[in-house]
């Protein structure tokens, strides 16, 4: 079993550790929560445990559907063994229903069901505040070439299809979410990072209640309860 050797990087919600195997990292989920590009900071007690579990269930579900991911195995409540990847410095956001920055940018009404799912690209950069970016700029500025961009976009749409159907069985609408991809040492493009309520908007289909990190962003209360509820729904339904 690989053991931790050093901290490779510490982000807002996770720590990546190197291991004695150069191709494997340990991804540790923290309870720290930030919003609005780190302007708001806090703690969601138990979030690391909930998110590790939710992300594992969803990644395994996606693996079963043929999506390659970085996940190797769960080590404990907060830690996963993952393949080391060269991360694509672009965040892939899919939207099914208008919310968040889309509404702010274009004065779109929150809750508007979009005619079809749409992808938006953001630069993965805390210093820049993850700005929106277009395909041309991604390619020309060298963030990713068109081949990677097209493949990752195709995978993103496939993940959306699987996830919308999965959350629907739980009585939850998948409003939007963010994915990250990376290339392994053989050049394969793998789904990386996490899929958790930190990076997804999830609304109760019947009541419209917000169940995701918006509860933290907008001080709506019941954050821990909501994450706990999602974790138990997901682990039971995914059965993996």
- Which residues of the shown chain bind ligand TMP in the complex (CB under 6 A)? 91, 93, 99-102, 122, 130, 176-178, 198-201
Sequence-distant (6+) residues with CB within 8 A of 127 are none
Residue with smaller CB distance to ligand TMP, 82 or 200: 200
Closest approach, Cβ 200 to ligand TMP, in A, equals 5
Closest approach, Cβ 136 to ligand TMP, in A, equals 19
Q: Tokens for 15?
A: 């720590």
Closest approach, Cβ 4 to ligand TMP, in A, equals 26
Residue with smaller CB distance to ligand TMP, 82 or 203: 203
For residue 160, the tally of other CB atoms under 10 A from its CB is 21
What span, in angstroms and rounded, lies between the C-alpha atoms of 191 and 181? 5
- Which single residue brings its beta carbon nearest to ligand TMP? 100
Residues 62 and 159 sit within 8 Å (Cβ to Cβ): yes
Residue with smaller CB distance to ligand TMP, 31 or 130: 130
Q: Tokens for 95?
A: 């939207």
Residues 152 and 121 sit within 8 Å (Cβ to Cβ): no
What span, in angstroms and rounded, lies between the C-alpha atoms of 182 and 19? 18
For residue 9, the tally of other CB atoms under 10 A from its CB is 11
Give the CA distances from residue 19 to residues 70, 73, 81, 192, 225, in Å, rounded to whole numbers and listed in that order.
15, 14, 9, 17, 34
Closest approach, Cβ 228 to ligand TMP, in A, equals 19
Closest approach, Cβ 227 to ligand TMP, in A, equals 14
Closest approach, Cβ 95 to ligand TMP, in A, equals 7
Dihedral angle of Cα 4, 46, 130, 109, to the nearest 10 degrees: 160
């Amino acid at each position: 079993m690989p053991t931790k050797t050093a901290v490779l990087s510490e982000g807002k919600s996770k720590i990546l550790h190197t291991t004695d195997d150069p191709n494997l990292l340990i991804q540790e989920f923290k309870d720290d929560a930030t919003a609005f590009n780190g302007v708001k900071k806090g703690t969601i007690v138990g979030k690391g445990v909930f998110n590790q579990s939710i992300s594992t269930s969803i990644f395994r579900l996606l693996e079963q559907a043929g999506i390659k991911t970085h996940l190797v195995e769960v080590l404990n409540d907060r830690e996963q063994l993952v393949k080391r990847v060269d991360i694509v410095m672009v965040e892939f956001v899919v939207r099914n229903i208008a919310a968040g920055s889309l509404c702010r940018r274009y004065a779109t009404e929150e809750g508007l069901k979009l005619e079809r799912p749409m992808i938006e690209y953001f630069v993965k950069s805390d210093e820049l505040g993850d700005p929106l970016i277009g395909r041309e700029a991604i390619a020309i500025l060298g963030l990713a070439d068109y081949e990677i961009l097209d493949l990752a976009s195709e995978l993103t749409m496939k993940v959306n299809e699987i996830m919308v159907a999965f959350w629907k069985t739980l009585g939850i609408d998948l409003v939007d979410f963010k994915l990250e991809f990376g290339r392994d040492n053989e050049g394969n493009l793998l789904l990386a990072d996490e899929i958790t309520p930190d990076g997804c908007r999830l609304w109760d289909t019947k009541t419209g209640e917000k169940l995701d990190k918006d509860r933290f962003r907008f001080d709506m209360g019941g954050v821990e309860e909501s994450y706990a509820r999602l974790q138990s729904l997901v682990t039971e339904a995914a059965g993996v």
